[in-house]
Amino acid sequence: MRNKIYFLIMIIIVVISCSKEKKKEEGFLKKFDTREIQGLWRIVPSTQNETILFEPDSEAKLKTDSTEFKVYLMKDSSGMRILTNKEDENSIGYFLFSEKKDDIWMGIYRDELVRIERIREKKKSVLQ
């Protein structure tokens, strides 16, 4: 009987420690790879005609009618965060991976529900 109790206690300890490790991994932010979303995206709705330019090498720029500045992209297990400062934990935008379509991605930007739409350049000829 005593062996069974010890065995159950050991199993409970292992299960609890594994669940704590999983929670730690989920909160960890990593750099977001922009190769899949590279290009210019329009934020809709936007009063300042805001766009985000996703560049290679995990970089992005936020452009408005009058300004342009670098933003930092981080990801967790569920989505991508847009940060104005690398050390800042508060994000200005969050987009869930489950909401991403080919040319439209729904998310939260500056505390509002928005979508970003890919702006495709029109080809000048059939050969391009």
- Whether residue 50 has pLDDT greater than 90: yes
Selecting from 2.40.128.20, 3.40.50.10860, 3.40.50.720, 3.30.70.100, what CATH number does the domain 30-118 have?
2.40.128.20
| pLDDT in the model for residue 126 | 65
What's the pTM value of the predicted model, to 2 decimals?
A: 0.69
Confidence of residue 27 (pLDDT cuts 50, 70, 90): very low
Phi, psi angle pair for 42, to nearest 5°: -95, 135
Residue 74, helix vs strand vs coil? strand
The pLDDT-based confidence of 62 (bands split at 50, 70, 90) is: very high
- Domain boundaries of the chain, sorted by first residue: 30-118
Q: Is 46 exposed, middle or buried (0-12, 13-18, 19+ CB in 10 A)?
A: middle
CB count in 10 Å sphere of residue 112: 11
Report the mean per-residue pLDDT for the chain: 82
Kindly state the percentage of the chain with pLDDT values over 90. 32
Asked whether the predicted pLDDT for residue 21 surpasses 60, the reply is: no
